C-alpha cells in the first residue's frame, strides 16, 4: 500500500492545470554520502535541481576548508556527463570549530553555510555540538560576516520523547539562540511541527525553514500502517496529522520564509531493514513530483515556483537559476530502488504511480 492510498486526494483546484513551468529549482538540504553511494544517487538530484546544499556529515565529517574543497571535487567528478549541477558546501560545526577557519571558508566561497548538529541527534552527528554556549565565538563571527546557520533542531536528551524533541530544542535552544544572536541568519531544517513554523514566522526577517516532501504526505501513523515501514523512518520523525496539515499550509502559503529542502538521505536496504535501522528517507527521484502534487491538491500551483526556485535563493543571497523545468499532470513511476554495488536504496513512493511527472 502506497502513501497515496492511505490518504484520499486533498483539495483539488476547480479548473485543473495540467502543465506548469517554473525556474529551475534548488534543493537546500541534500545528503549525497560518498564513494559508490554518491555515484548512485547524485544523478537523481541533478536531474531535478540546479543547485543543492550538501550536508557535511560524512565519516569523518567535513570540518575544514580543505575537506570541503575535496568533497566538492568528488561530487563534480561523480556527476554524469551532460548534467549540470552546482554543489553548495557546508561546514560541520564541532565544539572546537575555529572561527577563523569558518570565516576563511565563507570569504573564499568554499562553503555557503555552517551546519549545526546537536551531538547524537541523527546520522553521523556524534562529533557535533554538545553546548551551544560553547560555540558562541563561532556564531558571533558568523553573525558578523553574514554566514547562515543551518540547524538540525532536535534535543538529544534520551529522556525526552522522540516526538517531542523538536519542541524541546525550540524552547530550550533555538529561541534563546535567536535572542542572543539577533543578526544571525538561521534556517531550521526539515521543520515538522506547527509550533516551529510559528517561531520561524516571528523571526522571518532572518529565519527560514525548509520543508521536505515526505513530511508533507506522511504523518507518524504511516510509519506503522499495517506493520513497521522502515523506509518512512527519518529524523526528525514524522509527527501527528495536525502538524502535517500545518506544514502543507506553510509550504503552499507563498510566505518567503519557507522553501524546498528534501533532506533526501540514502541508506542501503540492509541498513534500513535492520534490528536498529538508520534514519533517512531517499526521496531524490520523486521529490518534485511529490511537491507539485501537494501544491496541486492545495490549490496553490501559482505559489510553487516561489517555494521551489526563489525563496531559498533569496535567503542565501543568490540569483535564481536560469532555465526552466516543466511538470505535467501525467501518471508516471520512478524507480522502486536504486542499485548501489550489490545492494540497493529504496525510493520514497517508488511503489506508486504518481499523478505528476517531470516533462
Alpha carbon of 170 to those of 2, 13, 165, 263, 324: distances in Å? Answer: 32, 35, 9, 20, 37
Check 26, 27, 263, 296 and give the catalytic one.
Answer: 263
Contact 212, 192 (CB under 8 A): no
Q: How many CB atoms lie within 10 A of CB 332?
A: 14
Angstrom distance (rounded) from CA 294 to CA 287:
11
Query: Is 279 among the annotated ligand-binding positions?
Result: yes
Query: Is 116 among the annotated ligand-binding positions?
Result: no
Cell of 301: 500551483
Q: What is the 3-state secondary structure (H, E, C) of 24-79?
A: CCEEEEECCCCHHHHHHHHHHHHHHCCEEEECCCCCCCCCCHHHHHHHHHHHHHHC
Query: Is 321 among the annotated ligand-binding positions?
Result: no
Contact 90, 62 (CB under 8 A): yes
Query: Is 316 among the annotated ligand-binding positions?
Result: no
Helix (H) or strand (E) holding 346: strand 343-346
Give me the helix-helix angle, 136-145 and 99-107, nearest 10°.
20
Query: Is 31 among the annotated ligand-binding positions?
Result: yes
Query: Is 39 among the annotated ligand-binding positions?
Result: no
Angstrom distance (rounded) from CA 107 to CA 144:
12
Q: How many CB atoms lie within 10 A of CB 349?
A: 26
Letter string b/e over residues 274-296, b meaning 16 or more CB atoms within 10 A of that residue's CB: eeeebbbbbbbbbbbbbbbbbbb
Strand duo 337-340 + 343-346: pairing: antiparallel
263 labelled catalytic: yes
Query: Is 229 among the annotated ligand-binding positions?
Result: no
Rg (CA), the chain: 19
Query: Is 181 among the annotated ligand-binding positions?
Result: no
Q: Known binding site for substrate: residues?
A: 31-33, 57, 152, 235, 267, 279
Report the catalytic residues. Answer: 263
Q: Known binding site for Zn(2+): residues?
A: 29, 31, 115, 152, 190, 263
Q: Known binding site: residues?
A: 29, 31-33, 57, 115, 152, 190, 235, 263, 267, 279
Amino acid at each position: 500500500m502506497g502513501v497515496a492510498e492511505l490518504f484520499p486526494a486533498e483539495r483539488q483546484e476547480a479548473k485543473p492545470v495540467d502543465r506548469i513551468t517554473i525556474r529551475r529549482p534548488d534543493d537546500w538540504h541534500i545528503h549525497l554520502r560518498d564513494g559508490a553511494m554518491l555515484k548512485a544517487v547524485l544523478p537523481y538530484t541533478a536531474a531535478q535541481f540546479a543547485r543543492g546544499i550538501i550536508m557535511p556529515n560524512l565519516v569523518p565529517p567535513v570540518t575544514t576548508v580543505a575537506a570541503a574543497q575535496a568533497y566538492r571535487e568528488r561530487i563534480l567528478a561523480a556527476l554524469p556527463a551532460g548534467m549540470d549541477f552546482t554543489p553548495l558546501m557546508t561546514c560541520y560545526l564541532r565544539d572546537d570549530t575555529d572561527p577563523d577557519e569558518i570565516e576563511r571558508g565563507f570569504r573564499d566561497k568554499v562553503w555557503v553555510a555552517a551546519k549545526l548538529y546537536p551531538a547524537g541527534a541523527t546520522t553521523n552527528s556524534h562529533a557535533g555540538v554538545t553546548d551551544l554556549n560553547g560555540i558562541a565565538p563561532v556564531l558571533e563571527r558568523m553573525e558578523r560576516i553574514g554566514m547562515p546557520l543551518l540547524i538540525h533542531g532536535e534535543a538529544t536528551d534520551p529522556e525526552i520523547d522522540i516526538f517531542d524533541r523538536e519542541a524541546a530544542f525550540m524552547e530550550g535552544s533555538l529561541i534563546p539562540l535567536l535572542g542572543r544572536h539577533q543578526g544571525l541568519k538561521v534556517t531550521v531544517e526539515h521543520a515538522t511541527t506547527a509550533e516551529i513554523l510559528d517561531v520561524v514566522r516571528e523571526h522571518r526577517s532572518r529565519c527560514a525553514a525548509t520543508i521536505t516532501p515526505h513530511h508533507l504526505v506522511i504523518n507518524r501513523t504511516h510509519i506503522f500502517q499495517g506493520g513497521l515501514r522502515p523506509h518512512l523512518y527519518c529524523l526528525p520523525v514524522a509527527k501527528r496529522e495536525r502538524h502535517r496539515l500545518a506544514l502543507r499550509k506553510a509550504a503552499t502559503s507563498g510566505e518567503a520564509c519557507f522553501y524546498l529542502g528534501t533532506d533526501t538521505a540514502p541508506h542501503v536496504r540492509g541498513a534500513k531493514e535492520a534490528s536498529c535501522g538508520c534514519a533517512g528517507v531517499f526521496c531524490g527521484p520523486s521529490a518534485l513530483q511529490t511537491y507539485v502534487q501537494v501544491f496541486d491538491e492545495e490549490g496553490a500551483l501559482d505559489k510553487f515556483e516561489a517555494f521551489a526556485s526563489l525563496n531559498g535563493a533569496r535567503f542565501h543571497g543568490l540569483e535564481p537559476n536560469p532555465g526552466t523545468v516543466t511538470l505535467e499532470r501525467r501518471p508516471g513511476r520512478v524507480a522502486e530502488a536504486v542499485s548501489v554495488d550489490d545492494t540497493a536504496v529504496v525510493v520514497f513512493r517508488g511503489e506508486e504511480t504518481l499523478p505528476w511527472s517531470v516533462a
